[in-house]
Structure 1
Amino acid sequence: MQALRRFTVRAALPEPLAPLSQLVMNLRWSWHAETRDLFETLDPDLWQRCGGDPVKVLGEVSAERLAALAKDRKFVRRLQDAVDDLEEYLSTPRWYQSLGAEAPASIAYFSAEFGITEVLPQYSGGLGILAGDHLKAASDLGLPLIGVGLLYRAGYFTQGLSADGWQLEHYPSMDPHGLPLKLLRQPDGSAVVIAVPLPEGRTLHAHVWRAQVGRVSLLLLDSDIEENAPSERVVTDRLYGGDEDHRLRQEMLLGIGGVRALRAYCGRTATPAPEVFHANEGHAGFQGVERIRELTEAHGLSFAEALQAVRAGTVFTTHTPVPAGIDRFPKALIERYFAGFGVPLHDLLVLGAEEDPTKFNMAHMGLRLGQRANGVSQLHGHVSRGMFSDLWPGFDESDVPIGSITNGVHAPTWTARELVEMGTQSSSQGDRYDGEDVEHFDGVDKIPASDLWSIRRTLRTRLVEEVRRRIRDTALSRGATEAEVGWTETAFDPDVLTIGFARRVPSYKRLTLMLRDPDRLKALLLDPERPIQLVIAGKSHPADDGGKKLIQQMVAFADDPEIRHRIAFLPGYDIGMARYLYWGCDVWLNNPLRPLEACGTSGMKAALNGGLNLSIRDGWWDEWFDGQNGWAIPTADGVTDHDRRDEVEARAIYDLLSNQVLPRFYERDRNGVPGRWVEMVRHTLRETGPKVLATRMVRDYTRALYVPAAGSARSMAADGYSPARGEAAWRTHVLSHWHDVRVAHVEATGGSDTPQIGSTLDLRAEVELPGLAPEEVEVQAAYGRVDDADGLHDVTTVPMKHEQTDGSRHWFTATVPLERTGAFGYTVRVLPHSAHLADPAELGVVTSA
Structure 2
Amino acid sequence: MEQNQKIVERKSHGIISPVAFFCAEYAIGGKESSYAGGLGVLAGDMVLEAADQGLPFVAIGMRYDGTYPDKDGFELVHNSDGSVLELDVPIESSVVSVRAWAKYFSPTAVLYLLDPKVSLNKEQGIMSGHLYDSHFYTRLKQQIIIGIGGFRLLKALGIEPKIYHLNEGNMAFAALAILAEGFSGTTFDEESRIKAVRAKVVSTKHTILEAGIETPMDGLWQFIGKYCETYSIKKEFIVSLGSHEHDTDIFAATKFLLRLSGKVNGVSIIHTVFEKEKHPNSDLIPITNGVYQKRWQAPEFFQKDHELSNEELWNIKKELRKDFVEQVSILSGVNLDSSVCTLVWTRRFVPYKRPFALFEDMVRLAAILNNTDMPVQIVISGAIYAPHSESAEISEKIQALSVDPMFKGRVAFVPGYSLELAKVLITGADIWLNTPILGKEACGTSGMKAGLNGALQMSVSDGWIDEVDWKDVGWILSNDSISSSLYKYLEEAIPAFYNMGNDGIPLEWVRKMRATMSIVESRYTTKRALKDYREKLYGI
For Structure 1 versus Structure 2, the TM-score category normalised by the shorter chain is over 0.9
Q: 2:502 — aligned with what?
A: 670
| CA-atom RMSD in angstroms | 2.2
**Sequence identity, in percent?**
31
3-state secondary structure, aligned to 1:335 = helix
Match for residue 330 of structure 2? Answer: 469
Displacement after TM superposition at 1:561 (Å):
4.9
In structure 1, the residue matched to 2:10 is: none
Q: Distance in 2 between matches of 1:230 and 1:651?
A: 59
Task: Determine the structure 1 residue equivalent to 2:195.
Answer: 308
1:515 Cα deviation from its structure 2 partner:
0.9
After superposition, where does 1:662-741 map in structure 2 within 5 Å?
A: 662-707=494-539
- Quick one: distance in 2 between partners of 1:222 and 1:628? 51
CA drift of 1:175 comes to 3.8
Aligned partner of residue 195 in structure 2, secondary structure: helix
Give the aligned partner of residue 259 of structure 1.
Answer: 151
Moved over 6 A (4+): none
From 65, 73, 76, the equivalent of 1:153 is 65
Please give the per-residue CA displacement for 1:598-620, whole angstroms capped at 9, x wherever unaligned. 00000000111111110000000
Q: How many residues align?
A: 526
| 1:179 aligned onto 2:72 | yes
From 194, 216, 238, the equivalent of 1:348 is 238
Q: Name the stretch that deviates more: 189-198 or 587-596.
A: 189-198
Which one of the candidate residues 170, 174, 191 is aligned to 1:287?
A: 174
- The aligned residue for residue 440 of structure 2 is 596
Distance in 2 (CA, whole Å) between partners of 1:120 and 1:321 is 24
- For residue 197 of structure 1, give the secondary structure of its aligned residue in structure 2: strand
2:291 paired with 1:409: yes
What pairs up with 1:324-363 in 2 under 5 angstroms?
325-341=211-227, 342=231, 343-354=233-244, 355-363=246-254
Q: Which residue of 1 aligns with 2:449?
A: 605
CA contact (8 A) 1:624 1:688 kept: no
Q: Distance in 2 between matches of 1:119 and 1:506?
A: 21
Cα pair 1:295 1:306 within 8 Å, conserved: no
Q: Which residue of 2 aligns with 1:526?
A: 370
Tell me, which stretches of 5 or more residues in structure 1 are unaligned? Answer: 1-17, 27-90, 92-96, 98-103, 155-173, 393-399, 425-443, 473-487, 637-647, 709-849
Q: Which amino acid aligns with 2:265?
A: N
One-letter identity of the residue aligned with 1:257: G
Cα 1:110–1:700 shift into 2, 3 Å: same
Equivalent residues in 2 for 1:430-579 (5 A)? 444=306, 446-472=307-333, 488=334, 491-542=335-386, 545-561=389-405, 563=407, 565-579=409-423
Distance (whole Å) between structure 1 residues aligned to residue 125 and residue 524 of structure 2? 41
Matched, 1:222 2:83: no
Taking the aligned partners of 2:44 and 2:178, their CA distance within structure 1 comes to 25
Residue identity matched to 1:317:
T
- Residue 357 (structure 1) shift: 2.2
* CA distances 1:652-704 after superposition (whole Å, capped 9, x unpaired): 10000012x11111111122211111011111122332211011000000011
| Separation in structure 2 between the aligned mates of residue 291 and residue 678 of structure 1, nearest angstrom | 52
Q: Closer, same or farther in 2 for the Cα pair 1:582/1:629, shift >3 Å?
A: same
Asked whether the equivalents of residues 379 and 412 of structure 2 are also in contact (C-alpha less than 8 Å), the reply is yes
* TM-fit CA distance, 1:296: 5.0
Q: 2:135 aligns with which of 243, 260, 273?
A: 243
> Could you tell me whether the CA contact under 8 Å between 1:533 and 1:566 is conserved in 2?
yes
Contact 2:91-2:144 at 8 Å conserved across structures: no
State whether residues 303 and 344 of structure 1, in contact with CA within 8 Å, keep that contact through their aligned partners in structure 2: no
Taking the aligned partners of 2:170 and 2:472, their CA distance within structure 1 comes to: 38
Q: How does 1:764-843 map to 2 (within 5 A)?
A: none
Q: Distance in 2 between matches of 1:176 and 1:614?
A: 38
Distance of aligned partners of 1:622 and 1:111 in 2 relative to their CA distance in 1, 3 Å threshold: same
When residues 224 and 551 of structure 1 are mapped into structure 2, their CA distance, relative to the original with a 3 A threshold, is same
Aligned residues of 1:664 and 1:676 also touching (Cα < 8 A): yes
The secondary structure found in structure 2 opposite 1:536 is: strand
Partners in 2 of 1:556 and 1:413 — Cα distance? 33
Q: Which residue of 2 aligns with 1:634?
A: 478
Deviation at 1:250, TM superposition (A): 0.9
Compared CA separation, residues 120 and 548, structure 1 to 2 (3 A) = closer
> How far apart are 1:564 and its partner, in Å?
5.9
Give the aligned residue type for 2:257: G
Rounded to whole Å, the distance in 1 between the matches of 2:31 and 2:142 is 22
SS in 2 for 1:298: coil
State the Cα distance separating 1:241 from its structure 2 match: 1.0
Equivalent residues of 1:311, 1:369 under 8 A apart: yes
Partner of 2:101: 209
- Structure number with the bigger relative contact order (C-alpha 8 A, sep ≥ 6) is 2
| Counterpart amino acid of residue 352 in structure 1 | G
Tell me how far 1:316 sits from its aligned partner.
0.9
Q: Pick one of 191, 204, 215 that aligns with 1:317.
A: 204
CA contact (8 A) 1:244 1:329 kept: no
Following superposition, the deviation at residue 345 of structure 1 comes to 1.4
Given that 2:33 and 2:65 are in contact with CA atoms closer than 8 Å, whether structure 1 keeps it comes out as no
**CA distance in structure 2 between the aligned counterparts of 1:146 and 1:186, rounded to whole angstroms:** 18
